[in-house]
Structure 1
């Protein structure tokens, strides 16, 4: 609900990640939910991808001043709040 993504889409994505050996799902003791954890392969992939993600974020924000970055965060929060209000 938080990300406005349908449960079926999340389930399909998790199933694909599980088939690739990147995550493991474990049932919760109470309720219908499941715990999701990265496997060793998932942790390795995350460690390899993280520097690229960080560099991409830096590149996307490099032309913005500190004030502009704060304004961007404020505007994004307003957009998110408007979507949650629906």
Structure 2
């Protein structure tokens, strides 16, 4: 039965196997790239949060403290997400 298989068929089988291996390897590389993009997006979110916090510090410098205190109490008592509160305070600055 093995004698019936031609050498070109064996070569074709190995080429297809190698091609499948390359596709699988490329898929793994793509997954690694997606993971690094996720890390990059997390870093970008941290940078945006720091920018919003810096705007809050500027707000401290230009507004009386009691007004800021009232805004913070209002936002944090009405919204459960701290990032949403920071975003609303950020929008209030403009």
Instruction: Give 1 or 2: higher strand fraction.
Output: 1
Q: Which has the higher helix share?
A: 2
- TM-score (normalizing by structure 2): 0.30
Q: TM-score, normalised by structure 1?
A: 0.32
Report 1 or 2 for greater relative contact order, CA contacts < 8 Å, sequence distance ≥ 6. Answer: 2
